[in-house]
Amino acid sequence: MADPVAAPAPMAGAAASGTAAGRPQGLWERLEQRFGRREFLLKSGWGFFWLFLGGWLLSNLRFLFPNVLYEASLAFKAGKPDEYPLGISEKWKKLQRVWIVRTPQGFYAYWARCTHLGCTPNWFDAEGRFKCPCHGSNFNPDGDVIAGPAPKPLWRCAITLADDGQLFVDKGRLENRPGAREQGEFFLPYAAA
Ligand code: FES
């Protein structure tokens, strides 16, 4: 005779549909059922370990490729000396931020950058001076400060003759001290033929 208080048999297919005792199984229960709790924790531990190790290796590999900024060269060829008449040429001011000055004795070049806060001054031929539009510094044709807040004379760039006979200006080498700026690589003696 059948026991009248025995629990009813579980419905067929309950386990297959992910339910236990008539209620849905949670993720944890299903993982436990699949691997066992111990094995699941072990696998998770190793998983995190390899993840950490991979991240650490990748971040170290990144240091093998440093950030390098490729900047335009500070030196340039400015054409043949005979292309320049006597006086201050603005031919390269826009492109290279340089004035090239020709005197009866030779050439020198200015970096067109105000020594106050770095604005680009303008050359006023009629007044014979450079004027900075930002805070009013004025420089005479030698580059010395004659008005305004600029603390130093304009910088002169190194200027030499390249092998092909062109002027070669290097903004990476600068000088503005009276006495030093008129000689060596900062003044190129050149007499017209
Ligand atoms: S930047 Fe030229 S005067 Fe200030």
Q: Does residue 35 register a pLDDT over 90?
A: no
pLDDT in tens, 90-117: 999 999 999 999 999 999 999 999 999 9
Mutate which of 117, 130, 131, 154 for ligand 1? The one with the most ligand atoms within 8 Å of its CB, which is 117
- In this prediction, residue 31 has a pLDDT band, given cuts at 50, 70 and 90, of confident
Options 1.10.3720.10, 3.30.470.20, 3.50.50.60, 2.102.10.10; CATH for 75-189 is 2.102.10.10
pTM (2 decimals)?
0.66
147 lines ligand 1 (CB under 6 A): no
Helix ranges restricted to H, the chain: 27-35, 37-62, 93-96
From 123, 129, 135, 146, give the residue whose CB has the most ligand 1 atoms within 8 Å, as the site to mutate.
135
- 115-171 per-position pLDDT tens digit: 999 999 999 999 999 999 999 999 999 999 999 999 999 999 999 999 999 999 999
For the chain, the structural domain boundaries read 24-62, 75-189
Q: Is the CB of 169 under 6 A from ligand 1?
A: no
Query: In which band, very low, low, confident or very high, does the pLDDT at 193 lie, cut at 50, 70 and 90?
Result: low
How confident is the model at residue 68, as a pLDDT? 77
Across 18-32, average pLDDT = 67
- In the reported structure, the alpha carbon of residue 134 is separated from the centroid of ligand 1 by a whole-number distance in angstroms of 5
Burial 132-155 (b: 16+ CB within 10 A, else e): beeeebbbeeebebeebebeebbb
What distance in Å separates the CA atoms of residue 82 and residue 192, rounded to the nearest whole number? 8
Q: Which atom of ligand 1 is nearest to the CA of 148?
A: 3
pLDDT digits (tens, 9 = 90+) for 37-55: 777 788 888 999 999 999 9
| β-bridge mates for residue 124, sequence order | 129
Predicted confidence band of residue 8 (pLDDT cuts 50, 70, 90): very low
pLDDT value at 70 more than 80: no
What's at 21, amino acid-wise? A
Quote the ligand 1 centre to 131 CA distance (angstroms).
9
Task: Tell me the C-alpha distance between 160 and 24, whole Å.
Answer: 86
Please indicate whether residue 138, judged by its CB atom, sits closer than 6 Å to ligand 1.
Answer: no
- Residue 23 reports pLDDT greater than 80: no
